[in-house]
Homo-oligomer: A and B are copies of this chain.
């Protein structure tokens, strides 16, 4: 699992539905592709996001840390808290399969950004982050924002743009909680579909 290497591993599919525009000047050999409908993404991939929270004792492994404490409001409603106002900053590995990278192994990508809990009555959060690819197979970033409505079986983030291999991309990432282990680890499955690409 060294990076995304063969695109088959990534189950990455490129569907070319080219805009009927002049192709003059496409010196990089790149052409803009825009999906006609939600059924025709121009690129597909599934990645797993591993959030390993700092618990005070896991300095070597932790990739997420709390920048702020929950507000007083978070603890008044539930004894166990909904963490309202807790801001978490992360630099999390993303992998093609469910397993964490082995020691010394590079993940397929890293998710760099933040989330914070934003409701008094229930667990819900908001994310802003980049998926940073830096392997022989892929270089570049995808930038995402969106609400993580944790009570829903699936929920959607927006891929608002991209750089490098993902130049000017747009799309949707559908999120599913794949595992929760105690208070300090959770894993999200992210099915990323791009509807605007340069290919």
Residues in A lying within 8 Å of B, measured CB to CB: 17, 19-28, 30-32, 34-40, 54, 56, 59, 62-63, 65-68, 71-74, 76-77, 84-87, 89-91, 112-114, 116-120, 124, 126, 128-130, 132, 140-141, 143, 145-147, 149, 156-164, 167-168, 170-172, 195-196, 198
Contacts of A63 in B (CB 8 A): 120
Contact A120 B40 (CB under 8 A): no
Q: Which residue of B lies closest to A140 (CB)?
A: B156
Give min CB distance, A171 to chain B, whole Å: 8
Q: How many copies does the complex hold?
A: 3
Residue in contact with A62 in the complex, picked from B39, B73, B128, B161, CB distance below 8 Å: B73
Contact B38 A25 (CB under 8 A): no
Report if A67-B87 is in contact (Cβ < 8 Å); known contacts: A34-B32, A156-B163.
Answer: yes
Give min CB distance, A116 to chain B, whole Å: 6
Residue in contact with A118 in the complex, picked from B73, B89, B146, B162, CB distance below 8 Å: B89
Q: CA of A116 to CA of B116 in the docked complex: distance in angstroms? A: 14
Contacts of A36 in B (CB 8 A): 21-26, 31-32
Contacts of A35 in B (CB 8 A): 32
Contact B85 A74 (CB under 8 A): no
Contacts of A158 in B (CB 8 A): 141, 143, 160-163
Give min CB distance, A12 to chain B, whole Å: 19
- Contacts A54-B73, A156-B163 aside, 5 further interface pairs with beta carbons under 8 A come to A22-B36, A28-B37, A54-B71, A91-B119, A140-B156
